[in-house]
Protein backbone atom coordinates (compact mmCIF):
# COMPACT_ATOMS: atom_id res chain seq x y z
CA UNK A 1 0.00 0.00 0.00
CA UNK A 2 1.17 3.54 -0.71
CA UNK A 3 1.07 6.18 2.04
CA UNK A 4 2.34 9.70 2.54
CA UNK A 5 4.03 10.50 5.87
CA UNK A 6 4.27 14.12 7.03
CA UNK A 7 6.78 14.57 9.85
CA UNK A 8 9.81 12.27 10.01
CA UNK A 9 11.05 12.90 13.54
CA UNK A 10 11.63 10.32 16.28
CA UNK A 11 8.22 8.72 15.88
CA UNK A 12 7.30 9.51 12.28
CA UNK A 13 10.67 8.49 10.89
CA UNK A 14 10.65 5.14 12.67
CA UNK A 15 7.05 4.49 11.68
CA UNK A 16 7.90 5.16 8.05
CA UNK A 17 10.80 2.72 8.29
CA UNK A 18 8.63 0.02 9.88
CA UNK A 19 6.10 0.42 7.08
CA UNK A 20 8.80 0.15 4.45
CA UNK A 21 10.13 -3.02 6.07
CA UNK A 22 6.61 -4.45 5.78
CA UNK A 23 6.59 -3.79 2.04
CA UNK A 24 4.57 -0.57 1.92
CA UNK A 25 5.58 2.39 -0.22
CA UNK A 26 6.14 5.48 1.93
CA UNK A 27 6.55 8.96 0.48
CA UNK A 28 7.86 11.16 3.29
CA UNK A 29 7.85 14.92 3.78
CA UNK A 30 9.61 16.82 6.54
CA UNK A 31 10.66 20.43 7.03
CA UNK A 32 14.21 19.07 7.09
CA UNK A 33 14.91 18.34 3.40
CA UNK A 34 17.67 15.91 4.35
CA UNK A 35 15.21 13.30 5.60
CA UNK A 36 12.26 13.78 3.22
CA UNK A 37 11.50 12.27 -0.18
CA UNK A 38 9.70 15.39 -1.39
CA UNK A 39 10.19 19.10 -0.81
CA UNK A 40 6.61 20.19 -0.08
CA UNK A 41 3.10 19.06 0.72
CA UNK A 42 2.18 19.93 -2.84
CA UNK A 43 4.80 17.55 -4.19
CA UNK A 44 3.70 14.90 -1.70
CA UNK A 45 0.11 15.06 -2.89
CA UNK A 46 1.24 14.90 -6.52
CA UNK A 47 3.41 11.82 -5.89
CA UNK A 48 0.60 9.80 -4.33
CA UNK A 49 -1.88 7.79 -6.38
CA UNK A 50 -5.58 8.30 -5.64
CA UNK A 51 -7.31 7.35 -3.45
CA UNK A 52 -4.57 8.75 -1.25
CA UNK A 53 -3.71 8.29 2.42
CA UNK A 54 -1.58 10.87 4.24
CA UNK A 55 -0.44 10.26 7.83
CA UNK A 56 0.47 13.39 9.80
CA UNK A 57 3.05 13.19 12.62
CA UNK A 58 3.75 16.80 13.59
CA UNK A 59 3.40 18.70 16.90
CA UNK A 60 -0.11 19.17 18.25
CA UNK A 61 -1.89 22.49 17.94
CA UNK A 62 -1.20 24.96 15.16
CA UNK A 63 1.37 22.78 13.28
CA UNK A 64 -1.20 19.98 12.99
CA UNK A 65 -4.09 22.34 12.23
CA UNK A 66 -2.27 24.14 9.43
CA UNK A 67 -1.03 20.87 7.93
CA UNK A 68 -4.50 19.31 7.95
CA UNK A 69 -6.07 22.43 6.44
CA UNK A 70 -3.50 22.54 3.66
CA UNK A 71 -3.96 18.85 2.90
CA UNK A 72 -7.70 19.47 2.63
CA UNK A 73 -6.96 21.91 -0.17
CA UNK A 74 -4.56 19.55 -1.94
CA UNK A 75 -6.35 16.22 -1.66
CA UNK A 76 -9.46 14.92 -3.45
CA UNK A 77 -12.75 13.27 -2.46
CA UNK A 78 -12.10 9.72 -1.31
CA UNK A 79 -8.67 10.48 0.18
CA UNK A 80 -8.02 10.08 3.91
CA UNK A 81 -5.91 12.10 6.34
CA UNK A 82 -4.63 10.42 9.52
CA UNK A 83 -3.54 12.45 12.54
CA UNK A 84 -1.18 10.20 14.48
CA UNK A 85 0.27 12.93 16.69
CA UNK A 86 -0.67 13.84 20.24
CA UNK A 87 -3.55 16.14 19.32
CA UNK A 88 -6.31 17.14 21.70
CA UNK A 89 -9.39 15.04 20.98
CA UNK A 90 -11.51 18.20 20.90
CA UNK A 91 -9.57 19.34 17.82
CA UNK A 92 -10.32 16.13 15.92
CA UNK A 93 -13.96 16.91 15.14
CA UNK A 94 -12.97 20.37 13.85
CA UNK A 95 -10.40 18.80 11.55
CA UNK A 96 -12.80 16.09 10.41
CA UNK A 97 -15.51 18.65 9.61
CA UNK A 98 -13.08 20.86 7.68
CA UNK A 99 -11.83 17.93 5.60
CA UNK A 100 -15.37 16.67 4.99
CA UNK A 101 -16.09 19.89 3.12
CA UNK A 102 -13.57 18.64 0.54
CA UNK A 103 -14.85 15.05 0.62
CA UNK A 104 -11.69 13.93 2.45
CA UNK A 105 -11.93 11.47 5.34
CA UNK A 106 -10.24 11.86 8.71
CA UNK A 107 -8.98 9.31 11.24
CA UNK A 108 -7.30 10.14 14.54
CA UNK A 109 -4.84 7.58 15.89
CA UNK A 110 -3.26 7.58 19.32
CA UNK A 111 0.18 6.01 18.99
CA UNK A 112 2.27 4.56 21.82
CA UNK A 113 5.63 2.86 21.57
CA UNK A 114 8.23 5.59 21.75
CA UNK A 115 11.69 5.03 20.34
CA UNK A 116 11.23 1.25 20.74
CA UNK A 117 8.31 1.05 18.33
CA UNK A 118 10.43 0.47 15.23
CA UNK A 119 11.40 -2.98 16.44
CA UNK A 120 8.58 -3.81 18.87
CA UNK A 121 5.62 -2.25 17.09
CA UNK A 122 3.25 0.54 18.11
CA UNK A 123 0.05 0.33 20.11
CA UNK A 124 -2.62 2.03 18.01
CA UNK A 125 -5.95 3.52 19.09
CA UNK A 126 -8.04 4.66 16.12
CA UNK A 127 -11.05 6.94 15.96
CA UNK A 128 -13.11 7.56 12.85
CA UNK A 129 -15.85 6.33 10.55
CA UNK A 130 -15.66 2.57 9.88
CA UNK A 131 -15.14 2.96 6.13
CA UNK A 132 -12.14 5.22 6.66
CA UNK A 133 -10.64 3.03 9.38
CA UNK A 134 -11.10 -0.11 7.29
CA UNK A 135 -9.14 1.45 4.46
CA UNK A 136 -6.16 1.79 6.79
CA UNK A 137 -6.09 -1.79 8.07
CA UNK A 138 -2.97 -2.83 6.08
CA UNK A 139 -1.10 0.11 7.61
CA UNK A 140 -2.33 -0.63 11.12
CA UNK A 141 -1.36 -4.29 10.83
CA UNK A 142 2.17 -3.36 9.75
CA UNK A 143 2.66 -0.85 12.56
CA UNK A 144 1.16 -2.79 15.49
CA UNK A 145 3.05 -5.41 17.51
CA UNK A 146 2.72 -9.06 16.55
CA UNK A 147 -0.26 -10.87 18.04
CA UNK A 148 -3.91 -10.03 18.49
CA UNK A 149 -3.45 -7.07 20.83
CA UNK A 150 -2.01 -3.63 20.22
CA UNK A 151 -4.77 -2.16 18.05
CA UNK A 152 -8.33 -0.96 18.65
CA UNK A 153 -10.91 0.95 16.66
CA UNK A 154 -11.91 2.87 19.77
CA UNK A 155 -14.90 4.70 18.34
CA UNK A 156 -15.85 7.66 16.23
CA UNK A 157 -13.68 10.70 15.46
CA UNK A 158 -11.78 11.77 18.58
CA UNK A 159 -11.92 8.38 20.28
CA UNK A 160 -8.37 7.44 19.32
CA UNK A 161 -6.80 10.52 20.81
CA UNK A 162 -9.09 10.37 23.85
CA UNK A 163 -7.98 6.78 24.55
CA UNK A 164 -4.32 7.76 24.13
CA UNK A 165 -4.83 10.76 26.41
CA UNK A 166 -6.18 8.53 29.17
CA UNK A 167 -3.35 6.06 28.51
CA UNK A 168 -0.84 8.84 29.11
CA UNK A 169 -2.64 9.94 32.24
CA UNK A 170 -2.36 6.41 33.62
CA UNK A 171 1.29 6.42 32.62
CA UNK A 172 1.79 9.57 34.70
CA UNK A 173 0.36 7.85 37.76
CA UNK A 174 2.39 4.66 37.40
CA UNK A 175 5.63 6.54 36.82
CA UNK A 176 4.99 8.73 39.85
CA UNK A 177 4.34 5.71 42.08
CA UNK A 178 7.59 4.04 40.97
CA UNK A 179 9.48 7.31 41.48
CA UNK A 180 8.12 7.87 44.98
CA UNK A 181 8.90 4.28 45.93
CA UNK A 182 12.47 4.74 44.72
CA UNK A 183 12.84 7.95 46.72
CA UNK A 184 11.59 6.26 49.90
CA UNK A 185 13.96 3.31 49.47
CA UNK A 186 16.86 5.70 48.92
CA UNK A 187 15.94 7.81 51.94
CA UNK A 188 16.66 5.09 54.51
CA UNK A 189 19.51 2.70 55.29
CA UNK A 190 17.14 -0.26 55.70
CA UNK A 191 17.52 -1.41 52.09
CA UNK A 192 21.14 -1.35 51.00
CA UNK A 193 20.60 -2.55 47.40
CA UNK A 194 17.87 -0.36 45.98
CA UNK A 195 18.48 -1.24 42.30
CA UNK A 196 18.48 -4.90 43.28
CA UNK A 197 15.12 -4.51 45.00
CA UNK A 198 13.56 -3.10 41.84
CA UNK A 199 15.23 -5.78 39.76
CA UNK A 200 13.74 -8.49 41.98
CA UNK A 201 10.26 -7.14 41.27
CA UNK A 202 10.55 -7.75 37.53
CA UNK A 203 9.48 -11.39 37.82
CA UNK A 204 6.53 -12.84 39.70
CA UNK A 205 5.20 -9.62 41.24
CA UNK A 206 1.94 -7.83 40.53
CA UNK A 207 3.78 -4.61 39.55
CA UNK A 208 6.02 -6.14 36.89
CA UNK A 209 5.80 -4.09 33.71
CA UNK A 210 7.76 -2.53 30.87
CA UNK A 211 8.07 0.67 32.89
CA UNK A 212 9.65 -1.33 35.70
CA UNK A 213 12.08 -2.84 33.19
CA UNK A 214 12.99 0.65 32.01
CA UNK A 215 13.40 1.83 35.59
CA UNK A 216 15.95 -0.93 36.19
CA UNK A 217 17.69 0.00 32.95
CA UNK A 218 17.90 3.64 34.08
CA UNK A 219 19.42 2.61 37.43
CA UNK A 220 21.92 0.34 35.66
CA UNK A 221 23.09 3.38 33.69
CA UNK A 222 23.13 5.78 36.65
CA UNK A 223 22.52 4.00 40.02
CA UNK A 224 21.96 7.19 42.02
CA UNK A 225 20.57 9.24 39.11
CA UNK A 226 23.27 11.71 40.05
CA UNK A 227 23.64 12.89 36.46
CA UNK A 228 20.04 14.07 36.19
CA UNK A 229 18.24 17.16 37.32
CA UNK A 230 14.94 16.41 39.09
CA UNK A 231 12.94 18.18 36.39
CA UNK A 232 10.20 16.52 34.35
CA UNK A 233 8.23 18.21 31.58
CA UNK A 234 4.62 17.29 30.80
CA UNK A 235 3.52 16.65 27.25
CA UNK A 236 0.09 18.27 27.55
CA UNK A 237 -1.94 15.08 27.56
CA UNK A 238 -1.74 14.81 31.35
CA UNK A 239 -3.34 18.24 31.60
CA UNK A 240 -6.01 17.30 29.05
CA UNK A 241 -6.79 14.11 31.00
CA UNK A 242 -7.33 16.06 34.20
CA UNK A 243 -9.43 18.65 32.37
CA UNK A 244 -11.57 15.90 30.81
CA UNK A 245 -12.07 14.47 34.28
CA UNK A 246 -13.30 17.85 35.48
CA UNK A 247 -15.60 18.17 32.45
CA UNK A 248 -17.14 14.73 33.12
CA UNK A 249 -17.05 14.92 36.95
CA UNK A 250 -14.78 11.86 37.21
CA UNK A 251 -12.36 11.85 40.17
CA UNK A 252 -8.74 11.23 39.16
CA UNK A 253 -6.75 11.78 42.38
CA UNK A 254 -3.68 9.71 41.42
CA UNK A 255 -3.30 11.10 37.90
CA UNK A 256 -3.95 14.66 39.06
CA UNK A 257 -1.37 14.34 41.82
CA UNK A 258 1.16 12.96 39.34
CA UNK A 259 0.62 15.95 37.05
CA UNK A 260 1.04 18.38 39.94
CA UNK A 261 4.21 16.58 40.99
CA UNK A 262 5.68 17.40 37.59
CA UNK A 263 4.80 21.04 38.13
CA UNK A 264 6.60 20.93 41.47
CA UNK A 265 9.70 19.55 39.78
CA UNK A 266 10.21 22.91 38.11
CA UNK A 267 10.50 24.64 41.46
CA UNK A 268 13.12 22.46 43.14
CA UNK A 269 15.37 19.49 42.45
CA UNK A 270 12.99 16.65 43.34
CA UNK A 271 14.57 13.20 43.75
CA UNK A 272 11.37 11.50 42.53
CA UNK A 273 11.38 13.66 39.42
CA UNK A 274 14.84 12.39 38.55
CA UNK A 275 13.30 8.95 38.14
CA UNK A 276 10.38 10.32 36.12
CA UNK A 277 12.86 12.13 33.85
CA UNK A 278 14.92 8.94 33.52
CA UNK A 279 11.86 6.86 32.60
CA UNK A 280 10.69 9.39 29.99
CA UNK A 281 14.14 9.25 28.42
CA UNK A 282 14.16 5.44 28.45
CA UNK A 283 10.84 4.81 26.72
CA UNK A 284 10.50 7.87 24.54
CA UNK A 285 13.96 9.30 24.05
CA UNK A 286 12.75 12.53 25.66
CA UNK A 287 15.42 15.07 26.45
CA UNK A 288 16.86 15.12 29.94
CA UNK A 289 18.82 17.79 31.75
CA UNK A 290 22.01 17.05 33.63
CA UNK A 291 22.34 18.53 37.07
CA UNK A 292 25.57 20.27 36.04
CA UNK A 293 24.01 21.55 32.85
CA UNK A 294 21.08 23.04 34.69
CA UNK A 295 23.38 24.88 37.06
CA UNK A 296 25.52 26.13 34.20
CA UNK A 297 22.47 27.55 32.43
CA UNK A 298 21.12 29.17 35.54
CA UNK A 299 17.99 27.11 35.13
CA UNK A 300 17.50 26.39 38.80
CA UNK A 301 15.19 29.37 39.01
CA UNK A 302 11.53 28.52 39.64
CA UNK A 303 9.56 28.07 36.43
CA UNK A 304 12.63 27.66 34.21
CA UNK A 305 11.55 25.75 31.10
CA UNK A 306 14.50 24.00 29.50
CA UNK A 307 12.75 21.07 27.85
CA UNK A 308 10.05 21.92 25.30
CA UNK A 309 6.90 19.78 25.54
CA UNK A 310 7.05 16.54 23.58
CA UNK A 311 4.91 16.47 20.50
**Positions marked active-site:** 164, 171
Helix axes 271-284, 159-186, angle to 10 degrees: 130
* Cβ–Cβ under 8 Å, residues 230 and 269: yes
User: Among 283, 285, 260, 284, which residue's Cα sits nearest to residue 273?
Assistant: 260
Q: How far is CA 245 from the centre of its chain?
A: 20
Rounded CA gap, 241 and 243, in Å?
5
Q: How far is CA 163 from the centre of its chain?
A: 12
Paired strand residues for 62: none
What's the start-to-end Cα distance of the chain, in Å? Answer: 27
Q: Coil, helix or strand for 280?
A: helix
User: Among 215, 209, 98, 112, which residue's Cα sits nearest to residue 157?
Assistant: 98
Rounded CA gap, 41 and 60, in Å?
18
Amino acid sequence: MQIGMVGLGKMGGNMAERLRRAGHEVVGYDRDPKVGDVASLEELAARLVAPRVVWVMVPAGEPTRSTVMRLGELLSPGDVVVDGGNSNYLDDRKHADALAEHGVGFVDVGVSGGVWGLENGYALMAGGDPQHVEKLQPIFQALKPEGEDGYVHAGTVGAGHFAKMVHNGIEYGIMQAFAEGWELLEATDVVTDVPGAFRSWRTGTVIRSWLLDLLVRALDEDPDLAELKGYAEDSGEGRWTVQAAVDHAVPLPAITAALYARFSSRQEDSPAMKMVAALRNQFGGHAVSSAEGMRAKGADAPGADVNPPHA
